[in-house]
Amino acid sequence: MKLISVNVSQPKEIRHNGQTIKTGIFKEPLPGRTMMRRLNLDGDGQGDPTVHGGVHQAVYVYPIEHYDYWKQELGRDDLTYGKFGENLTVEGMLEDAVHIGDVFRIGEALVEVSQPRVPCFKLGIKMGNPRIVKPFLESTRVGFYVRVLEEGEVGAGDVIERISVGDGGMTVKEIVHLRHFDNANTAGTEKAANLPALTPSWRDAFEEITVKAQEGSK
């Protein structure tokens, strides 16, 4: 596993549907090395901290392997690193092989996988294609967020090492599928609700899904 690119952006204001919004999705590759801190990378920021960022969404990771898929799917050849709003473009960390709670050493930093990424309309703005949001989610090629357990310096070319596998053994892909496409799987949603490393808001959502399903079956 390898860190291919580190991408950052300060929030900027843009016009969208007649309104001014603030977003940090316009990530660009950063030359050299930078510090990964508890809430973000040095030089990076979130436009709306009420829904982005925080300790559970400190850094967004996206696999480079998906770039070829999207180049073909979208018929584009301009997909440079950071195009999907990711902080870290990585190799060898696909959603069906990375588990919630997995701990990785990236450069000098230590991180823990906390949740999948769910795209919002800002991805459509970044890509110049508002219709990409739904197929992006449906593809389950969404990447994931990590929380930073130990701050440290990172840079393109760093080796990524898996230190431990998360309790419960549920992959990022499984969690996306359960949350958005398989709510009827109450055994799965109940298991997800009890994953200690899953972001609290996601655990709450799975608990609510499970309770509603159980009540509906009575």
pLDDT at 30: 95
> pLDDT band at 98, cuts 50/70/90?
very high
Q: Is 189 among the domain residues?
A: no
Q: Is 43 among the domain residues?
A: yes
CA pair distance 116, 60, nearest whole angstrom? 9
> pLDDT band at 18, cuts 50/70/90?
confident
Q: Is 180 among the domain residues?
A: no
Q: What digits encode the pLDDT tens for the residues 142-191?
A: 999 999 999 999 999 999 999 999 999 999 999 999 999 998 899 999 99
Q: Is 198 among the domain residues?
A: no
Domain that includes residue 58, residue range: 2-168
Residue 122: give its domain's CATH number: 2.40.33.20
Q: What mean pLDDT do residues 33-43 have?
A: 96
pLDDT at 50: 67
**Average pLDDT taken over every residue of the chain:** 93
CA pair distance 58, 36, nearest whole angstrom? 9
Q: Is 187 among the domain residues?
A: no
Q: Does the structure show a pLDDT above 70 at 79?
A: yes
DSSP 60-129: EEEETHHHHHHHHHHT-S---TTTTS-SEEEES--TTT-BTT-EEEETTEEEEEEEE----HHHHHHHT-
Q: How many domains does the chain have?
A: 1
Q: What mean pLDDT do residues 21-32 have?
A: 91
User: Are residues 97 and 163 in contact, defined by beta-carbon separation less than 8 angstroms?
Assistant: no
Q: Is 161 among the domain residues?
A: yes
Q: Is 183 among the domain residues?
A: no
pLDDT at 218: 58
> DSSP class of residue 171?
B
Q: Is 150 among the domain residues?
A: yes
Q: What angle do CA 190, 114, 116 make, to 5 degrees?
A: 80
Q: What mean pLDDT do residues 92-121 have?
A: 97
